[in-house]
Amino acid sequence: MKAKRQIVKSALPRKVAFTSIIIFVYLLGRHIPLPLVNLGEFGVQGKGRQLIDVASLITGGDFSQLSLFSLGLGPWMSTMIIWGFLSTSKKLNIKKMSMKVSDRWKKILMLLISIFQALGIMSFVTFQDNVLPFSRTIFVSLVSAIIITGCYVIMWLANLNIKYGIGSSSLLILVGILSSLPARLTKAINADLFFTNHLWIYGTIFAFCLISLVVTVLLERAEYRIPLERVMIHNDFAHKSYIPIKMNVAGGMSIMYAMTLLVLPQYLFSGLSMIMPKNEILRFLILNFQISKPFGLGAYLIILFFLTVGFALVNIKPDQLTETLQEMGDYIHGVNPGKDTFKFLNTKVKQIGILGGLYTVFVIGIPLIVGYIFNVDQTIASLPSMTLIIATLLFSVFDQVNMLKLNKQYEDIL
């Protein structure tokens, strides 16, 4: 009994140690530069790269320095979104696939997305053609293969951390943001030629950061409770039974996935521009599909709103919750079991999702709009987004740590 107790006590230190190793390997990979690339020339900022720069930061990558892990978890996140959409199709019958088959198809889809994103990055790169007498096509192929391999290494590290560490796969995104954001902000502020005139704008953005932080902390622990009638529980405890629905269902995930979805066409357009460099349509799309442009900003906020509502429905799953209530013989007071219960729960979850979507669009959208109007760097304008993401991911890590420490709250029986 004592030996088993000791094993349970050692779970948290072991997981923390394993996660520390994962973080070390991840940070090491982020500092391994890509070969045959002129890193100094890539570091020059351009309007066509603002969206990709911000998206890389949010998804755990880093384009401020081209490295083995520059793609981050972006391709994996895009794969999860597209796979989720495909799973809703009854014709494809994806839900009946075995785990092995579905995992194989996910990896194939991720490979295709990784190729698109790698080619998109290569469109901004100049190569050291004086070192090796290769054509640009060969350089692009070699470096793309390296950066795609790095993407799969990150996915492997994330899966290892899910299994043996703490913080799930999102921990790598958290580490990526925290390790890159200070330098990116410093660089953006130093590059602002109108810093003095923009002080009030920075103050406004900082105020929205505080709002997003405070509201996220409050919503993270807030829940909407639906009273539940449980036939198997004594009446004295009936008033304590309820269905808890978390108010901050989507958290920062909708922001990360919205940015990932928005940046996919940008990678595609940038990759195609290498094949058709003089195509005016591609040039127009690359220039305007940015969060620093009205079209791209509007598209991002619309995607963000619908993803927030979608995450609420996916995370709560009103259909499965209805089936569980029927199996247990429980019901919501004043609502008939079955279809009526599903409609009731679906409506409540949608309402919570819509409120969350409106709040997220407001606290994220206003700074971006202000940044667009006064030509502020998008890294600074996106700071409330980063704050919300960091707060959400930290809560997730804290919750896992607290769960692993639960055993210390009980005294030994023997």
Q: What is the pLDDT along the chain (414 residues), one digit of tens a residue?
A: 444 444 455 578 888 899 999 999 999 988 888 887 876 655 444 545 667 777 777 877 777 678 888 888 888 888 887 887 777 666 767 777 788 888 888 888 889 988 888 888 887 787 777 766 777 788 888 888 999 999 899 989 988 998 898 888 888 888 888 888 888 888 888 877 777 778 898 899 999 999 988 988 888 888 888 888 776 665 555 566 788 888 888 778 888 888 888 888 888 887 787 778 788 888 888 888 788 788 888 989 999 999 999 888 888 888 888 888 887 777 787 788 888 888 988 899 899 999 999 999 999 999 999 988 888 888 888 899 999 989 888 888 888 888 877 766 666 555
Ordered by start, the domain boundaries in the chain are 15-186, 192-414
Report the alpha-carbon angle 88-106-320, nearest 5: 35
What tokens does 224 get?
């909407």
Beta partners for residue 245, in sequence order: 224
Residue partners of 384: CB distance under 8 A and separation at least 6: 205, 208, 209, 211, 212, 363, 364, 367
Decide if 15-186 and 192-414 have a common fold.
yes
Closest CA to 123 of 137, 106, 104: 137
Q: What is the DSSP string of 316-382?
A: H-HHHHHHHHHHHT-EETTS-TTHHHHHHHHHHHHHHHHHHHHHHHHHHHHHHHHHHHTT--HHHHT
pTM over 0.85: no
DSSP state at residue 71: T
CA 294 – CA 299 distance, rounded (Å):
8
CA 48 – CA 63 distance, rounded (Å):
13
What tokens does 72 get?
């981050």
CATH code that applies to domain 15-186 = 1.10.3370.10
Closest CA to 49 of 302, 307, 296: 296
Q: Are strands 242-246 and 223-229 parallel, antiparallel or unpaired?
A: antiparallel
The listed CATH number (3.40.309.10, 3.40.50.720, 1.10.3370.10, 3.40.1080.10) that belongs to domain 192-414: 1.10.3370.10
Q: Are 35 and 70 in contact (CB under 8 A)?
A: no
Angle between helices 294-316 and 318-328 (to 10 degrees): 10
Tens of pLDDT, residues 130-187? 766 777 788 888 888 999 999 899 989 988 998 898 888 888 888 888 888 888 888 8
- Cα 215–chain centre separation: 19
CA 160 – CA 168 distance, rounded (Å):
9
CA 70 – CA 118 distance, rounded (Å):
9
